[in-house]
Amino acid sequence: MNAPVSSFTPGTLVETSAASVSAAMPCTRLSLRARGDLAPFEAALGLSLGGHIGSRSSSDALEAMRLGPDEWILHSRSGDVADVVAAMSALYDSHPHSLVDVSGREVTLVIKGERAAELLTLGCPRDIDTIPPGAGRRTAFDGVTVVLWRDGETSFRMDVWNTFAPHVYDLLAIGSRELAAESH
């Protein structure tokens, strides 16, 4: 199944006794690239950027995950982030960086349920157990690059580029039914 992206309206897409998959509400997504002294960026963003790759931090307005030595993805948590963007923009001359709005680029699937972590093993070569709750990873699912946020033991979010999302969702739906059919 490769349904067009526009079929993803926020809400539950599939739910079984094993796991549910739903489409998250849209949010502002910013790709940040920066190096050197991170303090001015942390001040402008109101959150810390310095943790290990895969670590996360948040403010009232934003949450961030470090994806690489000089790369972070930021999601808005509520409301407008224009102030933050303006503050970063003001920093540019003294602290060059790249802050690119990628809100339109991807969607987020929310995967929850008793066997959510197991569901991810259908497509993710990485050991899910090594991602602690509150952290995340850029990884692959069924050959597609995704960013995985582990919010709890049985609760995940997965950012997927629009045109890959139907393929990824399709396997998650097959898998949640497959896992539910297993007698445990």
- Sites of contact with another protein (CB under 8 A): 1-2, 4-6, 26, 31, 33, 70, 92, 96-98, 100-106, 118, 121-122, 124-127, 129-130, 142-144, 161-164, 166-167, 170-171, 174, 177-178, 180-182
CA–CA gap between residue 30 and residue 130 (Å, rounded): 26
Do 152 and 135 form a contact (C-beta atoms < 8 A)?
no
Q: Report, in Å, the least distance between residue 123 CB and another protein.
A: 8
For another protein, the closer CB: 37 or 125: 125
Do 120 and 111 form a contact (C-beta atoms < 8 A)?
yes
Q: Report, in Å, the least distance between residue 135 CB and another protein.
A: 17
Strands 20-23 and 106-112: antiparallel
By C-alpha distance, which of 171, 119, 117 is closest to 143? 171
For another protein, the closer CB: 78 or 130: 130
For another protein, the closer CB: 47 or 99: 99
- The DSSP result for 11-60, as a single string, is EEEEE-SS-EEEEPPP--EEEEE--S--HHHHHHHTS---S-TT-EEE-S
For another protein, the closer CB: 151 or 178: 178
Q: Report, in Å, the least distance between residue 161 CB and another protein.
A: 5
Q: Report, in Å, the least distance between residue 63 CB and another protein.
A: 19
